[in-house]
Amino acid sequence: MAADAGIIALGAGLAIGAAAIATAWAQKTIGAAAVGATAENDKMFGRGLIYMVLPETIVLFGLVIAFLLIQKM
């Protein structure tokens, strides 16, 4: 049982960790472009912000999966 718990915990960690890296990776590119666009045109701020936070949903998928896994411990 203890071994199972360990594997589950690892899985949960991987789920949220990998999802967070993916989010960061996506945001890096979008963020740079959004700041550039806003510098050129202030009106792009709103849209830039939306594009910027779009990938954050990915990490939430990771969170939900991690949470469902942890409940099985």
Partner 1 sequence: MFKPREMKRALIVGSKHDLERTIELLHSMGVAHIIDYHPETQDDQLTLGSPMEHASLVSQQLLRLRSNAQLLGISFENSPASTVMAESHITKDLELKIHDLELSVLSVIEDKTRIEDHLKKIDGRIAQLQPFVDIDIPLELYTGYEHLTVFTGSVRDMKTFTERLPGITSEYDLFVAPGAEQVLALFVSKTYTEDAGSLLAECGYTELKLPEGKGLPKQFIEKWTQQKQELTEKLQQTNNQLLDYRKRYAEFILASEEYLSIKVQKTEAPVRFATTAHSFIIDCWIPAESLLSTKERLETETNGSLYLEEFPVGHEEEPPTLLENPKPVRRFEFLLELYSIPNYRDVDPSVILSLIFPLFFGLMIGDVGFGILLILVGYIFMTKLKNSEGFSNIGWYIIIAGIFALLFGLFVFGDMFGMTFQTVAGETNAHSWSELLKVTIPIPSLIHKMEALGLTELLVLSILAGFLHLGLGLILGFISERKHSWKHAITKLGLLCVLVGITVLIFVMADWTWGQWLKPLKTTAVAPFLWGTVIPMLKTGMFLGELLIPYVTIVLAILGVLIILVTTGGFGLIEVLEVTSHLISYTRLAAICVAKGAMAFAFNVIGLGMILSGNIIIGVVGVVLLILMQLIVFALGSLSSGIQALRLHYVEFFMKFYKGAGVKFTPFKFHRKYTVKE
CB crowding 36-62: b at 16 or more within 10 Å, else e: ebbeeeeebeeebeebbeebeebbeeb
Stretch of residues binding partner 1 (CB under 8 A), selected from 5-13, 24-32, 41-49: 41-49
Q: Which residue in this structure is represented by tokens 């991690």?
A: 66
State the DSSP H helix or E strand holding residue 4, giving kind and residue range, or none if neither. Answer: helix 2-40
By beta-carbon proximity to partner 1, the closer residue of 14 and 70 is 70
Stretch of residues binding partner 1 (CB under 8 A), selected from 5-13, 22-30, 32-40, 60-68: 60-68
In the complex, the residues that contact partner 1 under the rule CB under 8 A are 45-47, 49-50, 53-54, 56-57, 60-61, 63-64, 67, 70-71
